[in-house]
Amino acid sequence: MSGLATAPPHDAVVLAEDLGVWYKGGKRTDFRSLILELLHGRRQRANRSWAVQGVSFSADSAEVLGIIGANGAGKTTICSVIAKVLRPDNGSIVVRGEVSALLSMGAGFNNELTGRENIVLNGLMLGFSRRRMVELTPEIIEFAGIERFLDTPVKHYSAGMRSRLGFSIAARLDPEILVLDEALSAGDAEFGVRASARMRELVTGARMVIVVSHSLEFVAASCDQ
């Protein structure tokens, strides 16, 4: 049995039990393939493998949870399930609160738009008004440290600049649950310190942050578990 629910059975903000997600290789989406999937489900399943299997964890409010692992370990898949982008094929996950997820560096950016325009665009996609995002822009840009490039198209940004801007937008919008998937991997050490402090500010307000990283040092310094 698998599925998503709206509230955990205890005080945990996020609770995953025996979570499993299939990796579907050789994706087929045409009508004939869908019929074959229904008629020969076992044969189709034989071509699949687990992206994530048997994962259980819980995280409470006012907590920073770190998820660490090598490339291909399923970290991004777990984040996608928490953000309700994917549904689990096995087990269950329950989430209390609205999730803001930065699932990849610069996700949601339009490369042809400037940094200023992308700040507004990302805010609009999350339900904020244009006026509110314009008000927040100076603070976001200052935190990201890219004032000189505010009106430059983001296609000219370095990986570190995109990473810093993406985090600065997501963290400033005060989400109930902030999911960061390798979002700081391209950032510099100085920004990492400021990002850790900002995450602490978020969880002080009874929010929670989930951080995915391949850096054991960063997770150990920034996370509660």
Please state, as a whole number, how many other Cβ atoms lie within 10 Å of the Cβ of residue 174.
12
CA pair distance 101, 82, nearest whole angstrom: 9
Tokens of 10: 């205890």
pLDDT at 42: 52
According to CATH, the topology of domain 12-97 is: Rossmann fold (3.40.50)
Let me know if the fold of 12-97 is the same as that of 102-206.
yes
Q: Model confidence at 197, in pLDDT bands (50, 70, 90)? A: confident
Quote the CATH superfamily of domain 102-206. Answer: P-loop containing nucleotide triphosphate hydrolases (3.40.50.300)
The pLDDT tens digits of the residues spanning 67-122 come to 887 777 888 888 888 888 888 999 999 998 888 777 665 667 899 999 999 999 98
CA pair distance 177, 164, nearest whole angstrom: 19
11 vs 79, residue with greater confidence: 79
DSSP, collapsed to helix, strand or coil, labels residue 169 as: helix
Q: Model confidence at 175, in pLDDT bands (50, 70, 90)? A: confident
- Structural domain spans, the chain: 12-97, 102-206
pLDDT at 29: 46
pTM beyond 0.85: the answer is: no
Name beta bridge partners: 60.
Answer: none
Q: What percent of the chain has pLDDT over 70?
A: 79
